[in-house]
């Protein structure tokens, strides 16, 4: 029995975030009439202090385990938590005016967001099937509720229903896989599983079937082909502020989730899962990029683009070596910030009663507001992976990882689909700059949000000189894993 106080100290950020969620839940009853802004400000404060707490609890070298090996704190956990907290902070800045205008501003909204953040933090530092699963459920349950929050919208209710049913199915498959692994190895602890697998034959059918179920579960949660059907409907139906959240921070958590399960746990089966992920990645890049071309709804188009991006993100992981993992982590961080900016722009263009989610709503944006048009162009360049934006380096690093392990054909396929993908991103830029405007209302957005959004978009380009620093941080985080 280890010292419980030392353990609690390591989990301070998680405990703090949860306690603040409880405080906000209670306090909102008192403040929601007199000081409606209090819940929002308190949530932002929580995220910032949480970020600070994560930063000061960095373990000195390697990884520390706590709570009887159920909790692990290592470089990857710290970096992922920092990114998740920061992303959520920016997400809330963008969504503030959106949720107040649509009467979705309630204390519960922030409580749910904080609980989702808690779930992601638990997932990133889980080293036991139980904690991984509970973290995942904390995140999913909050997201289902957030999607359904706008109850007067039929689309949102339908999206929430689909999300909930498929999410429950995915959790069931994941649990089934975990129970098979438990049957084969006799443990739920990830490190014990890893050493048990090393002592077994790598074609043990029981292990492989368990692995298949786990991959299917991961595939559903990540939204990759052929488990992607829910993504477009949820992206289109859910309120943009919720899509903004679920399309950014949970992707980083998903990376940590995959690292803990596949890389930490099933190291001995790397050959098997690498092949499975190859099929999924190729299908995702193909389906996502090709179906995105025919979309007329911008949110739906970005949903298909997410599917293809998740395909690229898997390329690094399936190369099954530390370089590949850090390429994937870099990719997912860059993708999160790019899609943060993209959905931020949709929110900026919308106002109560007008969602600005059709591509035709952006016609001739350059004549109405040249600055926003420029921002849209930069974001689309980064999504497509065109230099000098950071999206180019993200794609470059995963493809580099493929070439390192001599998977040349896959690298060629990836580049081919990236070229196809460029078509629909560039089409948006064409719509913005060369089409005749159909609307001429002024775009009203708070100055603070405009400023943060502009900073976000420019960061996608201006970060270039420091790209090496980020790459180093990412590969240090991976090499510091247990």
Partner 1 sequence: MTFEQLVFYFLASVAVIAAGLVITVRNPVRAALFLILTFFTVAVIWLLLEAEFLAIVLVLVYVGAVMVLFLFVVMMLDIDTDQLREGFAEYLPIGATVAVIILLQLVIVFSFGPFDLEQMPAPAAAAVDYSNTHQLGLLLYTYYVYPFELAAVLLLLAMVAAIALSLRGRLSAKRQRPDAQVRVRKEDRLRIVKMNAEKQD
Which residues contact partner 1 by CB under 8 A? 1, 4, 7, 11, 18, 22, 25, 66-68, 70-71, 106, 108-109, 111-112, 115, 118, 122, 128, 130-131, 134-135, 137-138, 141-142, 144-145, 148-149, 151, 183-184, 204-206, 209
Smallest separation (angstroms) from partner 1 to the CB of 39: 13
CA distance 68 to 189: 10
* Between 133 and 425, CB nearer to partner 1: 133
Q: What is the DSSP-derived secondary structure letter of residue 261?
A: I
* Between 45 and 206, CB nearer to partner 1: 206
Per-residue b or e along 32-66, where b marks 16 or more CB atoms closer than 10 Å to that residue's CB: eeeeeebbbebbbebbeebbebbeebebeeebbbb
* Between 322 and 482, CB nearer to partner 1: 482
Query: How is residue 330 written in tokens?
Result: 């870099």
Burial class (CB in 10 A: 0-12, 13-18, 19+), 326: buried
Smallest separation (angstroms) from partner 1 to the CB of 146: 9
* Between 119 and 385, CB nearer to partner 1: 119
CA distance 188 to 266: 12
Task: From residue 363, give the alpha-carbon distance in Å to each of 31, 114, 355, 357, 418.
Answer: 42, 37, 15, 12, 25
Smallest separation (angstroms) from partner 1 to the CB of 363: 35
Residues in the chain, how many? 482
User: What does 7-20 look like in DSSP terms, one character per residue?
Assistant: HHHHTHHHHHHHHH
452: nearest Cα among 300, 365, 345, 295? 345
Smallest separation (angstroms) from partner 1 to the CB of 132: 10
* Between 71 and 304, CB nearer to partner 1: 71
Smallest separation (angstroms) from partner 1 to the CB of 112: 7
Smallest separation (angstroms) from partner 1 to the CB of 414: 31
Smallest separation (angstroms) from partner 1 to the CB of 151: 7
Query: How is residue 5 written in tokens?
Result: 């106080």
CA distance 402 to 160: 37
* Between 66 and 329, CB nearer to partner 1: 66
* Between 151 and 430, CB nearer to partner 1: 151
């Amino acid at each position: 029995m280890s010292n419980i106080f030392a353990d609690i100290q390591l989990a301070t950020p998680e405990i703090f975030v949860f306690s603040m969620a409880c405080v906000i839940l209670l306090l909102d009853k008192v403040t929601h009439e007199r000081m409606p802004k209090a819940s929002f400000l308190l949530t932002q404060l929580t995220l910032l202090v949480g970020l600070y707490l994560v930063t000061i609890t960095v373990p000195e070298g390697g990884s520390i385990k706590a709570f009887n090996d159920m909790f692990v704190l290592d470089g990857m956990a710290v970096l992922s938590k920092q990114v998740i907290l920061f992303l959520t902070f920016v997400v809330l800045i963008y969504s503030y005016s959106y949720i107040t205008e649509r009467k979705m501003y309630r204390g519960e909204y922030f409580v749910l967001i904080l609980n989702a953040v808690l779930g992601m933090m638990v997932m990133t530092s889980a080293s036991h099937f139980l904690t991984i699963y509970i973290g995942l459920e904390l995140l999913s349950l909050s997201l289902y509720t957030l999607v359904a929050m706008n109850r007067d919208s039929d689309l949102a209710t339908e999206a929430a229903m689909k999300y909930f049913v498929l999410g429950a199915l995915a959790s069931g498959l994941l649990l089934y896989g975990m129970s098979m692994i438990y049957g084969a190895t006799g443990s739920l602890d990830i490190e014990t599983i890893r050493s048990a697998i090393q002592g077994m034959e790598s074609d043990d059918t029981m292990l492989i079937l368990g692995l298949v179920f786990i991959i299917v579960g991961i595939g559903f949660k990540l939204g990759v082909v052929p488990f992607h059907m829910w993504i477009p409907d949820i992206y289109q139906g859910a309120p943009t502020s919720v899509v903004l959240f679920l399309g950014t921070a949970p992707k980083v958590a998903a990376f940590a989730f995959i690292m803990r399960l596949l890389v930490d746990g099933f190291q001995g089966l790397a050959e098997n899962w690498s092949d499975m992920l190859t099929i999924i990645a190729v299908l995702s890049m193909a389906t996502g990029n090709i179906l995105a071309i025919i979309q007329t709804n911008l949110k739906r188009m970005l949903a298909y683009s997410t599917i293809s991006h998740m395909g690229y993100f898997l390329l690094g992981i399936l190369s099954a070596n530390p370089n590949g993992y850090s390429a994937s982590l870099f990719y997912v961080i860059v993708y999160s910030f790019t899609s943060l900016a993209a959905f931020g722009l949709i929110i900026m263009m919308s106002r109560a009663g007008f969602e600005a989610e059709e591509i035709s709503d952006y016609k001739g944006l350059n004549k109405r507001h040249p600055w926003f048009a420029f921002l849209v162009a930069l974001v689309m360049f980064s999504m497509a992976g065109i230099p000098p934006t950071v999206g180019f380096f993200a794609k470059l690093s995963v493809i580099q990882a493929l070439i390192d392990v001599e998977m040349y054909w896959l690298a060629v396929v990836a580049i081919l689909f990236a070229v196809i993908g460029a078509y629909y991103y560039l089409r948006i830029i064409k719509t913005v700059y060369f089409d005749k405007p159909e609307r001429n209302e002024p775009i009203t957005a708070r100055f603070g949000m405009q400023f943060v959004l502009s900073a976000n978009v420019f960061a996608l380009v201006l970060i270039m000189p420091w790209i090496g620093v980020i790459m180093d941080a990412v590969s240090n985080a991976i090499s510091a894993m247990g």
